[in-house]
Amino acid sequence: MKRSYFALLIIVIFTLLIGCNKTEQQTGSTANQSNSQAGKKNTPDDASKANNQELIVVGQEIAASLDPVKPLTSSYLRLIGAGEALFKVNAKGGIEPELAESAKEVDPTTWEIKLKTEPRFWSGKNIDADAVIASLERSRALDLQALPFLKELTFDKADDRTILVKTTREHVPVPLNLSYYQTLIHNVEAKQDAVSTMDLSGMYKVVEFFPKQRMVLERNESYWRAKPAIRRIVFEEMKDEQTRVLASLSGRGQVVLNIPAASLAQFKSNAETTLSASPAANTQTVYLNLRQPQLADVKVRQALSWALNREELVTLAAEGQSFPVATWLSSNPAYAEARNAIYAKPDPAKAGQLLDEAGWSLGTDGVRYKDGKPLTLRLRTWGGDKALGEALQSQWTQIGVKTEVQHGDYSLIETARGSGDWDASIEAWSTFGEEFALLTGQFSPKGSANYGGYDDAQTNELLSKLEKASSDAARRELALQINERVAQQAPAISLFPRPQITAISKSLQGFEAHFRQFENVVNANLSLVSK
């Protein structure tokens, strides 16, 4: 009980500190915010109604920047209702127009996209063909994570409301490519680095921003579609897992993302909160740096994968809220049959044999050595993956790999990758989408998520065939072959789909569970009701 009171006290202090530091840390604010408050008298009833219209969303992380081309920023902007793309994926996996009116395939390498006439940026600027093309080209040039979806596409203006998209290969699903958050449409004529100048199109406008702390949004009164009922949203970052749990249980946050699986038991007796829990279509993956001498050997990488008890990892790191997958693509329900295509069950003996063959002999201290040097692995984790890192450390230690878990911000992983000073890191990329774009981004030599420098002639040949495949059946078969080949070569080790657990207050109506929850939280149908 004392621990609960103490944790709640931490939340209160944390909130007060944010308020006290507001002037120092705010990176920008809308010019008309103070003007709209001037001369306005608030009655008690008005204040009460305003409070009832404020939604608090809590996440493990929020954006470090406002610019959509910065890492993950567009995901947070879309999640919270500030940004939009041409198309959107619905909860059933279908592709729907968002800023676009329609799309049709004119011929095998040409799509025609018609734009809606109503949408405007927050500034009032028309979202026409020129604005859309400029936005997509900026994302292509500055956002590495957008490359898998844009690099095959060429955009031309047919008229103010029509864009022709040429593709480098046949039958590319262009609407799907243009539904990812990395293709969020923004006004390139505006400076996107401050609240007062950023210019998006969403139903909510950012009015305050404290990097990595808090984002405040207010309803866009000029929104081109039906305006949302909730007037104001506060999006807060709470890194500590238990603090997020308490934020939900105490009623402080109406939507709390990234609830740790280990905390599910705390919600069993809570009558004010519901949980939305389902594995996402992504694969929790250990990416290996093949530029490191010990990991350049395929036998070492295969040993690391054979050693893993994935069922145990799901239990220890995900509280059983997921399922094991031994191949990257198999977290996509369409490829579920490939979950155990290789490494069907843990085999530490086989792992040990492979390490022996690679010249790594087991020492009396339980660590393997080669040429007098120990077999080491520095595993970088972030967010809620610390427990997973420690479970991996335990399993790899059993085969003689001296594993060190280094936990911290995602920015530390990015810095390490930039310098090359890393061995392994954990990340989960979506497996939902067009197979060629996904697999190329992960496993081609120049793929934006090919962090470890994987370059395999057989994989490259299969990718080339997939690029030219003319039928769905042929594309599917080639995707399965690539998926299995990569698992055999083990440049990245697949574990399980990352569970996404969200706590929702029962006072909030209209929340929609989504397999891509990380970009689908706020919608226009949300409303708060009195208990």
Does residue 155 surpass a pLDDT of 70?
yes
pLDDT at 33: 36
**pLDDT tens per residue, range 242-255:** 999 999 999 999 99
**CA 91 centroid distance within chain:** 16
Output the average pLDDT for the chain.
89
What is the dihedral sign for C-alpha 230, 231, 232, 233? positive
pLDDT at 515: 81
Domain 282-497 class in CATH: alpha beta
- Asked if 392 and 404 count as a contact pair (C-beta separation under 8 A), the reply is no
pLDDT at 333: 82
* Helices 457-468 + 435-443 axis angle, to 10: 160
Query: What would you report as the CA-atom Rg of the chain, rounded to the nearest whole angstrom?
Result: 24
**pLDDT tens per residue, range 367-387:** 999 999 999 999 999 988 999
Measured distance CA(291)–CA(422) in Å, rounded: 9
- Asked if 319 and 367 count as a contact pair (C-beta separation under 8 A), the reply is no
Count Cβ atoms below 10 Å from residue 364 Cβ, excluding itself: 5
Mean pLDDT of 394-419: 96
**pLDDT tens per residue, range 343-362:** 999 999 999 999 999 999 99
Does residue 145 surpass a pLDDT of 90?
no
The CATH architecture to which 84-183 belongs is Alpha-Beta Complex (3.90)
pLDDT at 531: 61
Q: Does domain 204-278+500-528 bear CATH number 3.40.190.10?
A: yes
Measured distance CA(31)–CA(217) in Å, rounded: 14
**pLDDT tens per residue, range 475-516:** 999 999 999 999 999 999 999 998 889 999 999 999 998 888
Does residue 281 surpass a pLDDT of 80?
yes
Measured distance CA(106)–CA(126) in Å, rounded: 26
Residue 457, class by beta-carbon neighbours within 10 Å (0-12 exposed, 13-18 middle, 19+ buried)?
exposed
**pLDDT tens per residue, range 24-59:** 333 443 333 333 333 334 444 444 454 448 999 999
**pLDDT tens per residue, range 233-242:** 999 999 999 9
Q: pLDDT confidence of 5, banded at 50, 70, 90?
A: very low
DSSP state of 40: P
Measured distance CA(222)–CA(210) in Å, rounded: 25
| Across 12-16, 32-36, 262-266, least confident range | 32-36
Measured distance CA(356)–CA(375) in Å, rounded: 12
389 or 22, higher pLDDT: 389
- Pair of tokens at residue 58: 């809590």
Residue 492, class by beta-carbon neighbours within 10 Å (0-12 exposed, 13-18 middle, 19+ buried)?
buried
- Asked if 491 and 291 count as a contact pair (C-beta separation under 8 A), the reply is no
Does residue 126 surpass a pLDDT of 80?
yes
Q: pLDDT confidence of 1, banded at 50, 70, 90?
A: very low
Mean pLDDT of 302-317: 96
Domain boundaries, the chain: 84-183, 204-278+500-528, 282-497
Does residue 463 surpass a pLDDT of 80?
yes
Q: What is the pTM of this model?
A: 0.68
Mean pLDDT of 426-435: 90
